[in-house]
Structure 1
Amino acid sequence: MQTNLADFIRNTQAGQEADSILRSCVHCGFCTATCPTYQLLGDELDGPRGRIYLIKQVLEGKPATAATQSHLDRCLTCRNCESTCPSGVQYGRLVDIGRKVVEEQVPRPLSQRVMRTALKELVPRKWIFRPAMKAGQMLRPLLPKLLQNKVPLPQEAGAWPTRTHARQMLYLEGCVQPSMSPNINSATARVLDALGVQLFAPPKAGCCGAIRYHMNDQEGGLEDMRRNIDAWWPYIEGRDGIRADTIVMNASGCGSTVKEYGHLLQHDPVYAEKARRISHMTRDISEILPEFEEALKHKLKDFNGKRVAYHPPCTLQHGQKIRGKVEGILRAAGVDVQLCADSHLCCGSAGTYSILQPELSYRLRDNKISKLQATDPDMIVTGNIGCVTHLQSGTDTPVRHWIELLDAALQAPS
């Protein structure tokens, strides 16, 4: 694709990156076949090819409009299009650049500004989010259905391992996961403890940066990333008896972002090299456990053929390009794992998308649940807290993180 970027962005780092991405697109249209919003709406401008065209126009100097902003807002950033693009177009990076430029040109209505500011300020701060979630859980029966969907029932975290091990790994607690589903982190720690690995969360680490970065507060998101690097770095070099060789992620949305720290901070003279190393050290829990395949075979108890439908999160299968590992791990535990039809499609959670675009989000959720239920599962499992909560709001079938299932298998009596 030929480009002629406007002066305001041509010689900037963002402009140079956008120009390279735009030039790699050949407008073949393969991406439209796997775009969830295009499938729902049938509008070219609500598919990747159309959005790329809109971004190109804006970067070449055509003023953005409210319609431009709306089409970009409706993108889930699921990155399914990246998985099907034969030219390797980095659409996720391009849409972040385009959204920021459009945000600067198009003032949002007051209601949108209030909602987006509340999400950016509330969700990444655990000290605000935790009491807010506890209050929501106490008042849950009184809340309207839309709010109930975002407030899961209280869950016990279970025991945290107390043993020390020679091999140590760091992990990111996450913004919402400790309040909404605390057993996920505890289950991860128990599984690794059974395999001789000690898990440690540096206390000053916080939001991975995705919330603010993808809501066009990119500098705020980068500050979150720098804070995490500062929190992790002493324990990478060695402090208080901890010297970690890996950073574990059990929320694929966070993992996808942390793996991009090296790219997002590549021009930061202070953090570029540290960010590159952090990204290199970061691995989803599904990438780690195959290292312990033999140990798992000896420790796992048969699950008596429990039938499970697995939903691969977009941030795992498209963002991190990890496929097949979770299914293999669970099958080793005796679980009958099923993938539903169109397992590549998004469930509609997509971070804050389910709050900002509820109509589309719930249509995608209901489509996904109907296909998951068609496998006749005893349970639905996935690998991201957002997917867990979103799917559970639409079904009575239990929805869990897959690591909780593995933890239960390891804890089962002989």
Structure 2
Amino acid sequence: MWHRTGILCACIGVAVVASGCNDLPSSIGAEFLPDTTQLQVLSSELVPLIESVRTEQVAQPLFNTGWLFLGRYRELEARVLLRFVDIPDTLAGVTAEDILEATLILSPERYALGDTAGGATVVPFRIHPVVRFWSPLAIWDSLFANGDAATLDLTPIGSWNDPIPLRDSSEPVRVRLNAAGHALLAEWFRRQADSQSIYGVALVPEPTATSIRAFATQTIGQLQRPLPTLEVLYRRAGRVDTLRLSGGYASSFVRPPADTAGKLLLQSGVQYRVRLRVRLDALPPLAAIHQVQLWIPVDTAAFWTGNREFSRVLRLMPADSAAPGYIQATATYDAATASYATKSLAAMLEFWLRHRRSAGELLITLPADVLYSRLDRIALLPGMRMWILYSERKQP
């Protein structure tokens, strides 16, 4: 009995092995078939690999980024909102007449966009009280899309009209507040004592401004850079004292230009980026991607470049936020061809292909260190080209 059972089990085992050897290999097993690899090239000049390309804008606030932008250049207008966070609650008795002098102090940075002739920038501006709440998430459209009256008191409390020198280390800009500014400060002291909201001030460029200038502020968790400061000299109980208020809430608001229709633009400040859709249906299902190159032509005559060199590197990342970070890539500028070229997008396309996608979308942006420290524009041209080098296994 046991002998016959052992023989039966052995036969079943042989049959299973034999049938397994005669089966066609699965799609997974086909990856390991030897000596059947054939290299192939797909080009967007012959196959529609690039399905669409368009510019999109991201609603990205410029709050406590370390840089403040103020001024005008072409269609751009940049404003600054400041809120002071260390107002004492013991000055309710200080009146406008008790305030002897009040000065807003700003620290200019070297960066400027626009007219820098003569080694200086012309950025005249006014200071206005803010009359409504604004948060770190606020952007231009949420505050100024319907005009200024809903957000600002239209009576200025101070102004600046002098050129600001362009130096690596410039003297601070010191703006004296007028009598209306003194009255505003006295109101702030009363409101702080009563635990009422204080919304700060806005710096608004004059229409005669010919450039946009950067000013310093601190980033979150970084305390070395100078903050905008409001210095108040006041009299109380026969004594003269000085109060220094720090602009702990500091944000830039940049009005997007209206000339973007039909253009492919990358621009920091207004956060323009390019979305590109890639088709994968021309690749066989068992393809292994080895190299992918994307060629991005640019129109350097349409660049907006400040007094720094434009970014020589672009960042390419999958539009899918759940995709792993390692599949991101970069593109480097080549002056000889006036274009950017990627080293390889193979990891990104391989990720899409392995997840059974017939298409994938990638975003072309400026590097993170440029997105918040400049307002430069890079203009891409239509006619991007892509090449895919892949290996194909013969189907058994």
TM-score tier, shorter chain, comes to under 0.3
Instruction: Kindly indicate which of the two structures has a greater share of residues assigned to strand.
Output: 2
What TM-score results when the alignment is normalised by the length of structure 1?
A: 0.24
Instruction: Kindly indicate which of the two structures has a greater share of residues assigned to helix.
Output: 1
